[in-house]
Amino acid sequence: MREFSSWLAKMRPSINGYAYYVDFPKVYANIDAVRIELNMMNSLIGSSDIEADFKRLIERYPEVLTCIPLLLAVRQHEIYAQDEDGAFLYDFDKPKCSADQDITFMKKTGLLDLISRHLVSNLVDYALGVETGLDSNGRKNRGGHQMEDLVEGFLRKTGAEYYKEMYLNDIERKWNVDLSAISAEGTTTKRWDFVVKTPTVIYVMETNFYTGGGSKLNETARSYKLIAEEARQIAGVEFVWITDGGGWKNARRNLEETFRAMTHLYNIDDMEHGVFERLFAV
């Protein structure tokens, strides 16, 4: 018989892997895509007549403009800007503005000043830093997949037949099972993070990780408790919930109710101690 407090105490504050912080291969690829253009822009560093030199450069090599958004830490090629002189939409992928208007953009954004005053010595290195900073915005997406990737690693080790991101109606068609008890009589559909098929049982699984607290955790605990109760009405189908994270320590009341009501509620420590092997190893 498991004891809730000791189980909760094993929740992890984080599951961030080494690759979570910066996706350097992606950063390098993005830099390589404009490396030539950045090196052409390097010819302007320290220029005493930056406007004339920039104008000559883009008139001879207009493709150099494609690297401008990156220098401003902007992903899109179209940049809107306005002031008392008017509003302009600059398209650095398919330049339409005059060279003089491009110079205006470079002046008013501060890029010409940055380059002419030699405040940076190499725009490739500068862009590498910008790309690294921009990539930090991708941490939320990477973090959202970390728990699923972790669970899948443990599933793979069992050798069991499993499916990722499978819809409820696909399960019904594939194995000729009626899941109306957990689909509100067919009025709603749901995508499960994983589905594991053993000779006798279909396990439908949800996974998540919460670093922080909030009302969402209580709603999730109540919702999954209800799913577990509904799944008990279906012969040969069981609901498995894998969750973890320090956020649960501030939302323990609802989780404890669900813990006592569910047969298959596990955390990372449970997976590390072979719970999947006991459930559905082949």
Give the model confidence (pLDDT) of 159-212 as tens digits.
Answer: 999 999 999 999 999 999 999 888 654 445 789 999 999 999 999 999 999 988
User: Please, which residues have CB within 8 angstroms of residue 222's CB and are 6 or more apart in sequence?
Assistant: 254, 258
| Rounded distance between C-alpha atoms, residue 32 and residue 156, angstroms | 36
Give the model confidence (pLDDT) of 37-66 as tens digits.
Answer: 999 999 999 999 999 999 999 999 999 999
Give the model confidence (pLDDT) of 229-273 as tens digits.
Answer: 999 999 999 999 999 999 999 889 999 999 999 999 999 999 999
Q: Return the structure tokens found at 225.
A: 């408790």
Give the model confidence (pLDDT) of 87-141 as tens digits.
Answer: 989 999 887 778 899 999 999 999 999 999 999 999 999 999 999 999 887 777 7
- Tell me what pLDDT residue 124 has: 97
User: Please, which residues have CB within 8 angstroms of residue 52's CB and are 6 or more apart in sequence?
Assistant: none
For the chain, which domains are there? 4-17+139-280 (3.40.1350), 20-137 (no CATH)
| pTM of the model as a whole | 0.73
Q: Which of 25, 125, 138 is nearest to 75 (CA)?
A: 138
Q: Which of 147, 171, 92, 154 is nearest to 280 (CA)?
A: 154
| Rounded distance between C-alpha atoms, residue 226 and residue 117, angstroms | 64
| Rounded distance between C-alpha atoms, residue 142 and residue 149, angstroms | 10
Q: Name the β-bridge partners of 91.
A: 78
